[in-house]
Structure 1
Amino acid sequence: MTRTISRRRLLAGAAGLGSAALLAACGKGGDSGDAGTVTLNVWGGVPAESGPDALFAAFTAKHPNIKVKYTRFVNDDQGNLKLDTALQGGLDIDVVVSYARSALAKRVEAGLLTDLTDRLAGDPVLKVLAPGANPASNYFFDGKAYSVPASRSVETVLANKSLLDKAGITVPADWTTADFRTIARQLSGNGVYGCLIPPDLARQQLGPDFTYKAGGRESNFDHPAFRENFQLRLDMMAEKSAVPMTEIVAQKWDAFAQTPFLTGKVAMWISQPFVMRYIKDTKEYPHDFKTVLLPMPAPQKGAQFWNTGAYGDNVAITKKSKHQDAAFTLLQFWLGEGAAHMVPGGRLPSLPGGDTAKLAADLGGPDAAKLFDEQSLVTNLLTSDARIPVDAIQTAHAEISTIMNGLNQRVLLGNISIDQWARTAKEQCDAAIKKAA
C-alpha cells in the first residue's frame, strides 16, 4: 500500500460528546447533492438482518432519491483482505465500515478514504467529531478525520445466572480480580469451566496505548502488568477455572466464543454488546438460562481502572465514490436517528442521549425477560460510566499485532515461558517500531 501519512502521527479518539437533542438532529442532513436517484454501495461486517437492513430502509424512506446496496464482509483477516482488494481494485464502493483501528489506518495510509475534516467541522451535530473539537472525539490521522465512530461498546462479564444461583453465589458490585478467580473456581467442575478467559489486567491498569511507552518510540511489553496478566491466565488454566488454550484452539472458540457460553460449558464470558444477537438467537443457540451482565472486576479493591471495551464501527466514505454528498448524508443519519436501528443487533450509539428504557427494550428484544437479567443490562451496560481507553498511537500497529498474536498463543500453549515472551516481544516490537518510524 502507498504510504501517504506518517505512521508515528496516527492519533485516535472516541466519541463521547453531544446531547439527546443533538442526537435527534443528526439525521437532518440536506439533499444528496447528486442529480436524480443514486445508489450507494456500502460494505460492513454486521449481518444485514442484525440492523443494516432496517437502518438503510429507514434512510431511503427519508431520502427516497438515495438507495443503498449493502454487502457484508466477514470481519476477520480474510474478510478484511477481500475488502481491501476490492477497494484497491476499483470496485464500486461508496461507504465502508472498519472495525479494527489497524484496518482503518491501512485504508487511510493507502489513500482510499475521503478526508471528512471540513464536512465534520461544518456540521452542527457532527462537529463534535472534528479535529480540534475534542482530542478524544474521533480517529485522527495527521490532524485529519477520515471516519466517524458509530458505536460505543462497554465490556461486561456475561454470566450464566442458573449456575450462579445453583452455587449460591452473589457477585458484589465492587468485586475484584481475586473475587473473579475465586468465583470461577467455585463454578468449575462437571464439564464446566468458570470462565473462558480472565480480565486483561494490562489493559485495565495501563489504559490507552498500553502497548507503547510514552511517545510511541518503543514497546511496553517489559511492563510488569503484562507478566501479571499472563501469570493469572496460566494459573487459572492450570486449575481448570479458565479454558486451556489447547481446547480453545481445538474447538475454534477464539472465533466462536459464544458457543461454549451458550452451551453451558463456560459460566462467565467477558465480551461486548454485539454478542447479544447470539444470545437472542435461540434457534441457533437454544439455552434455558438467563444471562446476567456483571461489571468488570477491578484489579485491586477500590482501584480505578479502564474498561476493556471500545468505540468502533468506523464509518468512512471512499475517495473514489462519485456520490460524496449522498454518502455524507448517510453518515449523518447513521449516527443520528438511524442509530436506533442498529441497537437490536448489539450496536449501541456512540453519541449519548436517547431513552434508556427504549434502548433496553430494543437491545433485549421481545424475549428479554426470559433471556436476561434485565436490571443488570441497564445498570451495568446502558448506564455504565466505565472508562473506555482510546489509543492514540498507531506506529507499526499492524506489525505489532501480528507479532503478538503469535507470541501470545505460544506462551498460552506452554511453548515458551513468560520471560521468553517478554524478551522476544520487546525485541521484535521495538524493531518494528524503529522500522516504521
Structure 2
Amino acid sequence: MMKKRGKTLLAAVLMMSLLSACGGGNGGTTANGGGDSSASPGAGGGSGDGQSINLRLYTYGTEEAYNWNHTLRAYEESHPGIKIELVQLSEKGDTQEAFKKLDLEAASSAQMDILMFSDPAGYAQRVALGMAEPLDEFIAKDGFKVEEDYKVDTRLNGKVYALPGKFNPWYVLLNKNHLEETGLEVPADWTWAEFADYAKKLTQGEGASKRYGTYFHGPQAGGWMEYLKLMMENQPENADFLKADGSSNLDDPNFRKTLELRVRMEKEDKSSVPYTDMISQKLAYRTQFFNESASMLLIGSWMNTEIGGTDKVPLNFNVAVAPFPKNTPEDETGLTPVTTDYVAVAAKSKHKQEAYDFVRWYTTEGQIVQGKNIPAWNQVGSEQVQGIIDTILSGTKNPEKVDKKSLVDTLMVSKASAIIPPASYQSEVYEAINEEYEKLILGNQDIEATIKNSQERVAKIIESNQK
C-alpha cells in the first residue's frame, strides 16, 4: 500500500507538472550529446536497426565533481551502439534543486533511463512513487549479492532499486597550522570528548574576527541531519533516528548525548559557530574552513576533490584529516556516516537492460575510470584506493599542502554502520526533529522538552504513515 506521504508527493508533482506545462527534455542542462531526446540518433530505437540506443542519465553531479565527459566517453567507446546523454539537473550541484526538477520530469513525457539520487530519504521517497525499476532480476542474472559486492546495502523492503556509486565516509578536516600553533597532534583515533577539547583549545579571539574551533553545518530545513546524530552515527547498529523496522530510535541515550554535546560546545565552551549565525548569514562550510574562520570541519569525504584547494576556494594553509570521533576509547574506530550515489534504472525506460548494464559498469569499473571518489565496490583494493587519492589530489591547486598520510589512513579505517533502509516518511521525521532542535538551541526549550516533543511528533508521523 502506498504511504500517505507518497500519495501526497505524487499528486503535488503531477499538479506542478500541469501548471508548469513541463515538457520532455526541459528539466536541466544536457551535455555529452545534449538536446531533446527525440532529436537524438536512435532515441527509442535499438542497435538492431543500425541505430545507436540513446540513454538519458539524470544527475545533480557537476562536471567538476564527476568527470562526466571522460567517464561517459569511456563507456561509449567500450559499448558500441550506446549513447549516454547527460541531463544535469543543477549546474551548481544543488541536490534540492535537482530533486525538484527530477520530479517534474518524472511526471512529464520526458525520456528517462538512468537516475541518480543523492541521499537515502530522497531515494526511498522516489522508489515509493514508482520512479525506479527493481533490479533484482538483473542482479540475479549477473550472479552477485549487493551486500557482498558493495560497501552499501541499498535494499528497500527486500528489493534492490539502485546500486551505490561512490563511498564517501565522513571525517574531520583540520587546519594543521592551527594545530601546530596550539601544540596539538593530528589525531588518528579520538573521542567526542577529545574533539570538544580540541575545539575549545583552537578557539581564539572575540567578535567578528573570532576564530572558532569548529563549524557544524546543520541541521537546517530538515537537511544536514548528520549533525544531530553525532554520537549515534558511530555505532555499529541503530545509527539513525529510525530503526530498520521504521520505529522510533529517539530513546537512544546517544541522541540525548548529541544534544548535550552541541549545547555545551556552543553555549558553554563557545567553541562552535553559533547556530543563529549559520542560519541568518547563510554560512557555507567551505568558506568557514578555507577562510580559516573555523579550525575543524566535520564533513563528508566528497571534499577530497577540493581538499587541496581550487580556483574558487584556494588553500593557504596545511590540511590534515582525522577519523570520525567515537563515544568512548573502547568503541570501534572508523565507524562513520557514509554518503553514496544511488544509481537507478528509471521505471519508464524503454531500454531497461541497457540502462542496467550502464548502472552496473558505472558503480564498478566506472568509478575507477571516473577517478573522483573512493568506490563503494568491494573489489577495489588498497593500492587502487591510494592511486585514486593521488589522482584526486593531483586535480587540486596545492596537493602538497595536504597531509596525504592522514587522509589515506582515515579513508582506509573508515567503515559504514549497518545501513538502515530509509522509510518513505523519513524526511518528515527529519523536519520535525530539526524544528525541535531549533527551539533548544535558540533557548526556547530545554533538552528534556526537546527529547519529549521529538519523540511525540515522530510517533505521530509513524502512526499516520502506517495506516
390-399 or 105-114: which moved more? 390-399
Match 1:342 to one of 364, 367, 370: 370
Residue of structure 2 equivalent to 1:287: 315
| Aligned position for 2:84 | 68
The 8 Å contact of residues 175 and 301 in structure 1, kept in 2 or not, is answered as yes
Q: Secondary structure at the match of 2:415?
A: coil
Q: Partner of 2:406 in structure 1?
A: 376
Shift of 1:431: 0.7
TM alignment of 1:172-183, pairs within 5 A: 172-183=187-198
Is residue 167 of structure 1 aligned with residue 182 of structure 2? yes
Q: Which ranges of structure 2 fall in alignment gaps of 5 or more residues?
A: 8-44, 217-226
1:252 to 255, 270, 282: 282
What amino acid is the match of 2:146? L
Shift of 1:252: 1.7
CA distance in structure 2 between the aligned counterparts of 1:135 and 1:387, rounded to whole angstroms: 11
Given that 2:172 and 2:298 are in contact with CA atoms closer than 8 Å, whether structure 1 keeps it comes out as yes
Aligned residues of 1:155 and 1:296 also touching (Cα < 8 A): yes
Deviation at 1:207, TM superposition (A): 3.7
The structure 1 residue matched to 2:101, chosen from 70, 78, 82, is: 82
User: Is the CA contact (8 Å cut-off) linking 1:44 and 1:97 kept in structure 2?
Assistant: yes
Partner of 1:419: 448
Provide TM-score, normalisation by structure 2. 0.79
**Are residues 268 and 416 of structure 1, via their aligned partners in 2, closer, same or farther at CA, if it must alter by over 3 Å?**
same
Alignment of 1:94 with 2:113, yes or no, is yes
Work out whether residues 307 and 389 of structure 1, in 8 Å CA contact, stay in contact via their aligned partners in 2.
Answer: no
Residue of 292, 297, 304 corresponding to 1:276: 304
> Match of 2:434?
405
Give CA deviations for 1:271-324 in whole Å, capped at 9, x if unaligned: 111122333443111221122111122211222367332252010011111221
1:116 maps to 2:135: yes
Paired with 1:356 and 1:229, the residues of 2 have a C-alpha distance of: 32
The whole-number CA distance in structure 2 between the counterparts of 1:4 and 1:59 is 40
The CA distance in 1 between the partners of 2:178 and 2:385, in whole Å, is 28
**Which amino acid in the other structure matches residue 425 of structure 1?**
S
- Residues 205-354 of structure 1: pairs in structure 2 closer than 5 A: 205=235, 207-208=237-238, 210-212=240-242, 215-217=245-247, 219-238=248-267, 239-253=269-283, 256-304=284-332, 307-344=335-372, 346=373, 348-354=375-381
- The aligned length equals 404
Distance 1:55 1:208 in 2: 36
Letter in 2 for 1:201: M
Contact kept in structure 2, 1:310 and 1:390, CA below 8 Å? no
Letter aligned with residue 103 of structure 2: D
Match of 1:42 in 2: 57
The separation in 1 between residues aligned to 2:429 and 2:275, in whole angstroms, is 21
Report the alpha carbon displacement of residue 336 of structure 1 after superposing the two structures with TM. 2.2
Q: 2:91 matched to 1:58?
A: no
Against the structure 1 CA distance between its residues 33 and 144, is the aligned structure 2 distance closer, same or farther, given a 3 Å change threshold? farther
Can you list the C-alpha shifts for 1:352-390, whole angstroms capped at 9, x where unaligned? 414233122122225564231011111111x22434341
Aligned 8 A contact 1:113 1:319 in 2: yes
Alignment check: 8 A CA contact 2:156 2:421 kept: no
Q: What is the TM-score with the length of structure 1 in the denominator? A: 0.84
Q: Are 2:431 and 1:431 equivalent residues in the alignment?
A: no
Q: Comparing 108-117 with 410-419, which one deviates more in the overlay?
A: 410-419
Q: 2:215 aligns with which of 170, 187, 196?
A: 196
Counterparts of 2:259 and 2:340 in 1: how far apart (Å)? 26
Q: Give the RMSD, CA atoms, in angstroms.
A: 2.8
How far is the alpha carbon of 1:82 from its aligned partner?
1.9
Q: Aligned partners of 1:311 and 1:196: how far apart in 2?
A: 20
Amino acid at match of 1:196: Y
**Shift in CA distance, 144/34, structure 1 to aligned 2, threshold 3 Å:** farther
Deviation at 1:84, TM superposition (A): 1.3
Q: C-alpha separation between the residues in 2 aligned to 1:264 and 1:315?
A: 36
Residue type of the alignment partner of 1:422: I
Separation in structure 1 between the aligned mates of residue 150 and residue 310 of structure 2, nearest angstrom: 42
Identity %: 24
Higher relative contact order (CA 8 A, sep 6+): 1
Deviation of 1:224 after TM superposition, in Å, equals: 2.5
Paired position in structure 2 for 1:386: 415
